[in-house]
Amino acid sequence: MTTQSLPQFGRSNGSSPSAIPAVEARSLTKRFGTNLAVDNIDLTVMEGEIFGVLGPNGAGKTTVLNMLATLLPIDGGEARIFGYDVRSQGHAVRQLIGVTGQFASVDENLTGRENLWMFGRLQGLSSKRAHSIADDLLAQFDLTEAAHRPISQFSGGMRRRLDLAASLITRPALIFLDEPTTGLDPRNRNQMWDTIRDLVAQGSTILLTTQYLDEADALAGRVAVIDRGRKVAEGTPGQLKTQIGTSSLRVQMSEAANTGAAVALAADLTSDTPVVSPTGSGFSVKLSDANQAADVLIALRNHGLDITNATVEQPSLDDVFFTLTGHESETPIPETEANKS
């Protein structure tokens, strides 16, 4: 909206990082009928950090985000974005945020370039400037070839990238990302992670939701775990993981006949009962300490039991939920979008 000189945002402008948090929510509450979708959640996100909201489908993550982004009325509690009240100063808040939802919010009747141009115009850029920023963003998100194609011909990954590009036109200080990698293939997922880190390196603050513990681990400085509308834990990913404890070792034997002997060895060395894989050609065992993985592998080696593969696996989101809430998360079914890029 503004074409005034651009004060450098974040750390680079000499002044100390402002004491005003990017997001400050107190007792945030949302009811849908009798269902308490969000129940008394407190969140504080400082300028320049990546904050992750972790939880299964239906936990209330998107609802929290939509309330903070002025898209849903707040039923109880209060929220401030850079000090502006979300309820009473929505217009100010909207000038500071960019929102990328779970489902691409671009216009299907327009081409990629037309979409970016339109969002640029809506936010006060001249037509020429909107075109040049659209072209820059298309190039940077590897969409130049598809620039003149209608969105209906875009793959899921391309839509997601265009959607994020559309949120970055005015370089918002705070970016909300709702499950940015759900449905992306591993390559696109890693690229999205790099993009997110790059945005933060340039001074943006990011609040993202995710169903994946490894994603929160890879990106977020701090994480809040949400379950059934409540915050059940908050801390750095490291703190959460120590709270949850165990990883597990999964071993694939080169000869299935050796599995029995290997399982016996593993059982001796760990305090867990190994689980034989359905095909009988390997097993997995929970570790109370990651160093036990080496103990097991050395023992296998010493006994001449050859393996073809061994992996140490992080606790899954299910483990997190089981430990924190005492019940399983309803297993999320990630939609698989075809990704041609």
Partner 1 sequence: MTAAITVPTTSSRPTARTVQTSVPVRDALRQITTLAWRALVKMRRNPEQLVDVTFMPVLFTVMFGLMFGGAISGSTAHYLPILIPGIIAMTTVTSCLAAGVQIREDMDKGVFDRFRSLPIARIAPLAGPMMADLARYAIASSVTITVGVIMGYRPGGGVLGVAAGIVLAVILGWSLAWIFLWIGTSARSVGAVQGMSMMVMFPLAFLSNAFVPVDTLPGWLQAVTRVNPVSHVISALRDLMNNRALTAQVGWALLGCVAVAAIFIPLAVRSYSRRI
Binding site for partner 1 (CB under 8 A): 1-4, 6-7, 9, 18, 20, 69-73, 82-84, 89, 91-92, 94-99, 101, 103-110, 114, 118-119, 121-125, 133, 136-137, 140-142, 150, 161, 166, 168-173, 188, 191, 194-195, 197-199, 202, 341
- Residues 183 and 151: their CA atoms lie apart, in Å, by 18
User: Which of residues 10 and 334 has its CB atom nearest to partner 1 in the complex?
Assistant: 10
Q: State which residue, 19 or 333, has the beta carbon closest to partner 1.
A: 19
Pair 203, 13: CB distance under 8 Å: no
Task: For residue 23, give Cα distances in angstroms to 5, 84, 86, 337.
Answer: 25, 9, 10, 32
Say if CB 62 and CB 99 are below 8 A apart.
no
The tokens for 259 are 């599995």
88 φ/ψ angles, rounded to the nearest 5 degrees: -100, -15
CB closer to partner 1, 151 vs 317: 151
Shortest CB 280 distance to partner 1, Å: 42
Beta bridge partners of 252: 282, 309
Q: Which residue blocks in the chain are alpha helix, DSSP H?
A: 61-68, 90-94, 112-122, 127-140, 156-167, 186-201, 213-219, 237-244, 259-269, 292-302, 317-325
* Closest to partner 1 by CB, 102 or 292: 102
Residue 224 CB, nearest approach to partner 1 (Å) = 22
Which C-beta is closer to partner 1: that of 206 or that of 293?
Answer: 206
Kindly state the smallest distance separating residue 129's Cβ from partner 1, in Å: 8
CB of 68 to partner 1, least distance (A): 11
Q: Of 191 and 277, which has the nearer Cβ to partner 1? A: 191
Q: How far is the CB of 130 from partner 1 (least distance, A)?
A: 9
Q: How many residues does the chain have?
A: 341
- Taking the complex as a whole, the smallest distance from the CB of residue 320 to partner 1 amounts, in Å, to 29
